[in-house]
């Protein structure tokens, strides 16, 4: 653990991220201090003082955890393991981050790749995955697909039936509320391809919703 520089407003809590034999440990800098800096500024400060890496951890931990649960069927413990592995990889690559790429997009890409890697290795079951969906999300989907607003249960049933590649792009667009540019960065495909895949995903989802409603 790094020593505490004088003048830092720190809460004396230590986070240890432990993939295999490696341990990344830092003290948590207060939210008040973290909020004074942009993502790029925090990256630069983290390279000088590892404690500032806690700012990124605090800023994105909750969002990335939700995303992990939304694109995969994992337990809370598995999601935590994935997130820890992600932040280790982020730390190791911090000096090489493409300055032209938005940090949040890059983080989602790292999470996406880690989830896919774990799924291929462990063959996680896709039985009964559920996504927490707000009324606004449901209404947005309904408006785009020109449907009467479906229930959360119907959406989850329909998502289970469509292709994984369609499910992911729908989650990124409607549940993570990311832009086409951000989705393009995460999935490593041109924005035009994102738009095409999203349209096909909505058609597929709409079809499955129709089948469920008619049953």
Residue-wise DSSP of the chain? -----TT--EEEEEEEE-STT--EEEEEEPHHHHTTS-HHHHHHHHHH-GGGHHHHHHHHHHHHHHHHHHHS---HHHHHHHHHHHHHHHHHHGGG--TTS-HHHHHHHHHHHHHHHHHHHH----SS------HHHHHHHHHHHT-PPPPHHHHHHHHHHS-HHHHHHHIIIIIS---HHHHHHHHTS-HHHHHHHHHHHHHHHHHHHHHHHH-
Query: All domains of the chain, ordered by start, with CATH?
Result: 10-122 (1.10.1740.10), 135-214 (1.10.10.10)
Name beta bridge partners: 10. Answer: 29
* Rounded-to-integer distance, Cα 3 and Cα 50, Å: 10
> How confident is the prediction along the chain (215 residues), in pLDDT tens digits per residue?
333 333 333 333 344 444 444 556 667 888 899 999 999 999 999 989 988 999 999 999 999 998 888 777 778 888 888 888 888 888 888 888 877 778 888 898 889 888 877 766 654 444 444 566 677 777 887 788 887 777 778 887 888 888 888 888 988 888 888 889 888 888 888 999 999 999 999 999 989 988 887 75
> Residue 182 corresponds to which tokens in the numbers above?
């951000």
What's residue 33's pLDDT? 92
């Amino acid at each position: 653990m790094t020593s505490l520089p004088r003048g830092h407003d720190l809460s004396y809590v230590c986070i240890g991220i432990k993939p295999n034999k490696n341990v990344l440990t830092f003290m948590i800098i207060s939210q008040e201090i973290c909020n004074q800096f942009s993502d790029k500024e925090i990256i630069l400060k983290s390279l000088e003082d590892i404690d500032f890496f806690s700012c990124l951890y605090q800023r994105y931990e909750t969002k990335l955890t939700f995303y992990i649960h939304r694109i995969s069927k994992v337990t809370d413990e598995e999601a935590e393991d994935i997130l820890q592995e992600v932040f280790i990889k982020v730390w190791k690559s911090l000096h090489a981050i493409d300055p032209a790429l938005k940090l949040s997009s890059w983080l989602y890409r790292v999470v996406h790749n880690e989830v896919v890697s774990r799924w291929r290795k462990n063959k996680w079951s896709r039985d009964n995955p559920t996504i927490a969906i707000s009324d606004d999300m449901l209404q947005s989907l309904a408006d785009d697909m020109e449907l009467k607003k479906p229930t959360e249960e119907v959406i989850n049933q329909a998502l289970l039936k469509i292709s994984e590649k369609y499910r992911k792009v729908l989650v990124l667009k409607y549940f993570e509320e990311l832009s086409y540019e951000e989705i393009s960065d995460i999935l490593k495909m041109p924005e035009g391809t994102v738009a095409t895949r999203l349209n096909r995903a909505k058609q597929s989802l709409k079809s499955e919703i129709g089948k469920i409603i008619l049953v």
